[in-house]
Amino acid sequence: MKRTTVYLDDRTDLELARLARQQGRSKAELIREALAAHVATAARESQGAPDWVGMVDSGGARIAERAEELFGKLLEDEYEQILTEWHAHRQRERSR
């Protein structure tokens, strides 16, 4: 393990100390864990798209151009389903 120095503002240092006490862990351990998670996420994001992207034919070259239309239709369908279920629930409540 390599030693390094990290400068923290007072508020972050206080919150870190509180979390360390609460979890029974050292501040250094929490910092290492947070940095490792951040670095792993950044590394995954910087790799670009996964290898499998583009391997499937979507069935239409213009699907991206219709994204808003298709998403809107999906929302409309979902809204109608929720509304139908709400009316059915309301009807059941009234019949009690």
Q: How does pLDDT run across 7-65, given as a tens digit for each residue?
A: 999 999 999 999 999 999 999 999 999 999 999 888 877 777 666 666 666 666 677 77
DSSP at 65: G
Q: What is the rounded end-to-end Cα distance, in angstroms, of the chain?
A: 67
For the whole model, what pTM was predicted? Answer: 0.48
- The answer to whether the Cα torsion of 48, 53, 54, 59 is positive or negative is negative
Predicted local distance difference test score (pLDDT) of residue 37: 92
- The answer to whether the Cα torsion of 37, 42, 45, 46 is positive or negative is negative
